[in-house]
Amino acid sequence: MRTCNTFRKFIDLDNHFQASQKFDAKKIGSMIDLPQGVRDFIYLPQYQSMIVAMSDMNIATRIDSYFTNVSF
């Protein structure tokens, strides 16, 4: 949302939230056909590396892991 000028103008972000700084996003690559859902990622430009946290997005697997990992 910080990179979209139309959105910033629509909600008048610069006047209501001065701490939000606009920056121009630069596409450095893409990932296609990922076997699981992406939960989070971090790009480390100094190492030209990206760390991606992925997990199974199947609802049955997620419910099973919730009950398996929760202590009652």
List, for residues 29-70, the tens digit of each pLDDT value: 887 888 888 888 898 989 989 898 888 878 887 788 788 887
Q: Is the pTM of this model over 0.75?
A: no
- The total number of structural domains in the chain stands at 1
Span 3-20, mean pLDDT?
Answer: 81
Judged against a pLDDT cut of 70, whether residue 72 lies above it is answered with no
Q: Does some domain include residue 47?
A: yes
How confident is the model at residue 47, as a pLDDT? 92
C-alpha distances in Å from residue 69, one per residue of 4, 38, 45, 58, 61: 39, 20, 35, 17, 12
Q: Does some domain include residue 48?
A: yes
Q: Does some domain include residue 17?
A: no
Q: Does some domain include residue 1?
A: no
Q: Report residue 65 as tokens.
A: 């892991």
Residues 6+ apart with CB under 8 A from 36: 54, 55, 56, 57
